[in-house]
Structures are given as structure tokens and as C-alpha cells.
């Protein structure tokens, strides 16, 4: 039951990330895509959203790679995208805060990818698999 809840939550987060990345493109128009930092940030957010939606669904992709690994990869991409919003700005404090938050998200994602959630979840998520 906890796994189903986590997967549903992953799907909600993924849909939100896709809306945010699509909304950013709509609000700033295609001119915003000419800015390399914005383009990379939107691409990372969108890809993180796709990975989270894949984590929430039962497909051949989740048969090959466990759902929590897809979610972990999404966390890494989201963590990488966060500081890009303040890159090149004069707001060093906000850049540092988003770097700390991004590193935290990326670290949780790496735990899901490499260690099956052992350190962030307290137990390995692959414990029931054969």
C-alpha cells in the first residue's frame, strides 16, 4: 500500500513538473528558449516530470528498471534544474539556497538509483524482489 501511495505521488509530481516546464515556455514564449540556461532548466524539469510519470505507471520501462529508480532519476534531474533559475543573477543568497536544495534532491535521487532507498527510506526498496 505504501508503494502505491509513493507511485501515485510520483505521478502527481511528474504532472506538476510537466505543467511548470510547459507553462514556462508558454509564458516566456519561444524567445525564452533562445536563452541556454532557461532551455536547459526547462528541459531538465520536463524530463524529470516524464521520469516521475514513468515511475507512477506499470509499463515495460518499469519492468526493466524499478519504479523507484525512475523516481530517483527524476529527483536528480529536478535537483540539477533548481539552481539554474538563479544562475547569472545578482541574488547570491537565492542561488546558494537553491544549490543546497538541489544537492539535497539529487542526493536523495542517487540513493534511490544506487542504493535502492536504503539511506533516505530506512530500508531497501528492492527487499521483496527476487
Question: What are the extents of the domains in the chain?
Answer: 3-115
Q: State residue 130's pLDDT score.
A: 38
Query: Looking at residues 65-71, what average pLDDT do you find?
Result: 94
**Least confident piece of the model among 11-20, 23-32, 63-72:** 23-32
Judged on CB neighbours under 10 Å (0-12, 13-18, 19+), 31 is exposed
Per-residue pLDDT, averaged over 69-81, amounts to 96
Residue whose C-alpha is closest to residue 40's, from 16, 19, 24, 26:
24
Supply the pLDDT for residue 128: 58
Mean pLDDT of 17-45: 87
CB-based contacts of 66: which residues, under 8 Å, 6+ apart? 116, 125, 126, 129
pLDDT tier at 34, thresholds 50, 70, 90: confident
The whole-angstrom separation of Cα 63 and Cα 81 is 27
Helices (DSSP H) in 1-130: which residue ranges? 2-32, 36-56, 60-64, 67-81, 92-115
Is the model's pLDDT at 1 over the cut of 60? Answer: no
Amino acid at each position: 500500500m505504501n508503494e502505491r501511495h509513493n507511485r501515485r505521488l510520483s505521478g502527481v509530481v511528474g504532472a506538476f513538473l510537466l505543467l511548470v516546464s510547459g507553462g514556462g515556455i508558454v509564458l516566456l514564449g519561444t524567445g525564452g528558449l533562445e536563452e541556454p540556461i532557461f532551455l536547459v532548466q526547462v528541459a531538465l524539469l520536463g524530463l524529470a516530470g516524464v521520469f516521475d510519470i514513468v515511475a507512477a505507471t506499470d509499463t515495460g520501462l518499469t519492468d526493466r528498471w524499478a519504479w523507484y529508480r525512475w523516481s530517483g532519476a527524476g529527483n536528480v534531474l529536478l535537483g540539477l534544474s533548481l539552481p539554474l533559475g538563479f544562475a547569472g543573477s545578482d541574488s547570491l543568497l537565492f542561488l546558494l539556497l537553491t544549490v543546497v536544495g538541489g544537492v539535497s534532491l539529487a542526493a536523495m535521487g542517487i540513493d534511490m538509483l544506487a542504493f535502492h532507498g536504503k539511506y533516505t527510506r530506512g530500508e531497501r526498496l528492492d527487499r521483496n524482489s527476487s
